[in-house]
Amino acid sequence: MEFIEGMGLLSVTPDLVLMWGIGLALIYLAVTRQYEPLLLLPIGFGILLANLPLALLMAPEEGLIWHFYHYGIEWGIIPPLIFLGIGALTDFGPLLSQPRLIFLGAGAQVGVYVTFFIAYGIGFSVEEAATIGIIGGADGPTTIFLAAKLAPHLLGACAVAAYSYMALVPIIQPPIMRLLTTETERKIKMQKGRKVSAREKIFFPIIAAMVIILIVPASAPLMAMFMLGNLFRESGVVDRLTDTAQNSLLNIVTIFLGVSVGATMSADSFLRKDAIFIFFLGLFAFMLSTAGGVLLAKLMNAFTSNKINPLVGAAGVSAVPMAARVAQKVGAQADKKNYLLMFAMGPNIAGVIGTVIAAGIFLTMLK
C-alpha cells in the first residue's frame, strides 16, 4: 500500500486546486489572447508544477526547479542575462537623437516611489514596499531582480503583476493619456531629431555603462549586461555574439526564468491577502507612472518652443515596445498623419534605464 500512500492525489487540498486554476488561467490567456505568451506560458505551467503535492520540484537542495530558481534567480544571474539580450535588441538611436526625452523616462518612475510610500503605509515592510513599487517601472527582469534580493516571498506575485500589466498596457494607458492631454496637445507634431552617427552609437553603451554604474553602483549587474549587449550590436564586428545574445541565449534564459518564477507561487505563499494588495498597488503604480511621464512632458513644454507631444511621455514606463506603440496609436487617433512611434521609443528606452537606476537606489539604501 506504500504506493497508494505515496500518491500525490491524496494530498490535494482546495488551495492547491485554486492555484491550478490560476496557472491554467495564465496558460489560457497566453495561448488564446497571446498575453505575453513567452513568459506567461512557462509561468503558468510553473505554477501548476509547484502545486502538485509530493512532487517536491521546489524542495530546497533537491527539486529540479528549485535548482533553476536558486542558481538562476536567487543568485541574480538570469535577469542580467535577459538584459544582455534586450541590450542587443535595443537601438538607442531615438534617444541619442533627442536627448531631452530621457527625462520622460525619469518622470515615469514617479509611480514607483509614490506606490512604495503607500505600500509602506498600508503595512508592508520597507523591503516589500520597494519591491511592489518597482512594478510601476513596468520592467519584468528588474522587478524579479529586486524581488529576489529584497522580498523573495513576493517574487511570484510581483512578477505576474508586472507581466500581466505589461500585456494590458494598451488597455490601461490610453484613458489616462486622453484624460491628461487636450486634443491640440495630442496633435502636436514633433520635430525630427538629428541623425545619429554609427560612432556615437558605439560610444554610447561604453560611456553610459561607466557613468551610470559610477553613480549607482548597485545597478551594475543589470546595467553592465544591458550595455554590453548593446555594444555587441552597435560595434558591428561581433554579429555572432549579437545574434546569440538576442536570440538563442535570450530564449534559453526566458524558459528558466518563466518556469522558476511560476514555481515560486506555491499555495501557501501566494494565497494571502497580500497578493491582492500587490495586484492593486501594482496597477496603481503603473497608472501613476503613465501619468508622471505625460505630466512631465507637459511641464517641459512650458519651457520650450520645440514642443513635445505629451503622449510620448506615457512611453516612459519601460514596457518596450508596447508603450511606444500605444503612444503611436493614441496619437494617430487624434491625427492619423502623426507618426509618434519613433519619438516614443526614446522615453521608452530611457524608462528601462530609469527603472534600473530606481532599483539600484532601492538596493543601495535597503540592502
Partner 1 sequence: MAQVLDVFLNGIAGVFAGMGVLYLTLKLLAMLPGGRRKEDQQQ
Partner 2 sequence: MTEDVLAPLSGNVWKITVEVGETIEEDDEVLIIEALKMETPIYAPCDGKVKEIHVKEGDTVEEDQPLLSIE
CB-neighbour burial class of residue 259 (10 A; exposed 0-12, middle 13-18, buried 19+) = buried
Sign of the dihedral defined by the CA atoms of residues 206, 212, 218, 219, in that order: negative
| Rg from Cα positions in the chain | 21
Cβ at position 325, least distance to partner 2 in Å:
5
30 or 110, CB closer to partner 1? 110
Q: What is the DSSP letter of 367?
A: -
273 touches, from partner 1, partner 2, none (C-beta below 5 to 8 Å by class): none
CB 283 within 8 A of CB 165: yes
Cβ at position 302, least distance to partner 1 in Å:
17
Binding site for partner 2 (CB under 8 A): 192, 321, 324-325, 328, 336-337, 339, 341-342, 345
CB-neighbour burial class of residue 255 (10 A; exposed 0-12, middle 13-18, buried 19+) = middle
99 touches, from partner 1, partner 2, none (C-beta below 5 to 8 Å by class): partner 1
192 or 367, CB closer to partner 2? 192
Q: What is the DSSP letter of 61?
A: T
74 touches, from partner 1, partner 2, none (C-beta below 5 to 8 Å by class): none
Single residue of 109, 131, 181, 230 touching partner 1 by CB under 8 A? 109
CB 189 within 8 A of CB 309: yes
Single residue of 211, 251, 276, 306 touching partner 1 by CB under 8 A? 211
Q: Left, alpha or beta for 99 (phi > 0: left; psi -120 to 50: alpha)?
A: alpha
Q: What is the DSSP letter of 1?
A: -
366 touches, from partner 1, partner 2, none (C-beta below 5 to 8 Å by class): partner 1
The residues binding partner 1 (CB under 8 A) are: 95-96, 99-100, 102-103, 105-106, 109-110, 112-113, 116-117, 120, 126, 129-130, 194-195, 197, 199-200, 203-204, 207-208, 211-212, 215-216, 350, 353-354, 357-358, 361-362, 365-366
